[in-house]
Amino acid sequence: MEKAIAWDAGAGAVRLLDQTLLPGRVETLLVRTTGELVDGIRRLAVRGAPALGVAGAFGVVIALDEALRHGWSEAERDGAIDRVRAARPTAVNLAWGVDRVRPFIGQGRDAVLAAALDLAAADEAANRRLSALGADWLLARVDRSRLRLLTHCNAGALATAGWGTALGVVRELQERGRLDFVYADETRPLLQGARLTAYELAAEGIPHAVQVDGAAAGTILGGLVDAAVVGADRIAANGDVANKGRHARGPSRAPRRAFPSSWRRPGRRWISPRRTDRPS
């Protein structure tokens, strides 16, 4: 499967897999201007916190190239970078990616590109390490040879520089031969689960089903899955998490039934040290 975002050295551009068209059409965008990148971010052609961080970093390189082509002043160049940084105000990683490579501008365009490429490589490496740890954690807590999992939204390769976070754990289990089946919540209103997660699972040959969001609690309480693996949009001080407005502990409150849950948060990726089997 093509990466969600990558630097095309031959074209001197950012290559984006247009996620607004998936799964019906697979098309890539070659982004050579900051205006095109801002548009792609706002349309959700590229989305997912880690991928947006990489987009921000590459956006600085694009702004430098654009400034050279058009003879921009320093103020014009900085304005273009700021527009990339602010393209999606709720995306913390987007601003973070810009800020990580911006200090290298004084060392030249190649130094900025090298920093952006390092950032992308580090994200993928972190995803793979996280996925191995997550798989180990689940296998230590679920007494089954092959796991049945539930996931919500899309925290896979499409949301990152490569491999995926929550869905990366699913891929890791598949590679180990320890995965049975995956239930993917549709994730209204943009259907990231039905469109994107299902697309990734199909590409990996992973048996799966897409279910309406309201079916998640029944799937868990009915004993159809052994664990839930999701991204974490928000984490409360007591460890409760929410993803797309859905409270992660709520559907897992099966009386006298332990239900392991693990989650991933961009920037601070970690695994729950406890099981959600206490009464509440």
The catalytic site residues sit at 233
Token pair 């989305």: residue? 47
CA atoms within 13 A on the CB side of 221: 11
Angle formed by the axes of helices 92-101 and 74-85, nearest 10°: 150
Q: Which of 271, 266, 269 is nearest to 50 (CA)?
A: 266
Q: Which string of DSSP letters, residue by residue, matches 28-86?
A: EEEE-SHHHHHHHHHTTSS-SHHHHHHHHHHHHHHHHHHHHHHT--HHHHHHHHHHHHT
Q: Which of 24, 28, 35 is nearest to 5 (CA)?
A: 28
Which of the 8 DSSP states describes residue 133?
H
Beta bridge partners, 164, equal 156
- For residue 156, what are its two tokens? 């896979």
CA gap 118, 57 in Å, rounded: 10
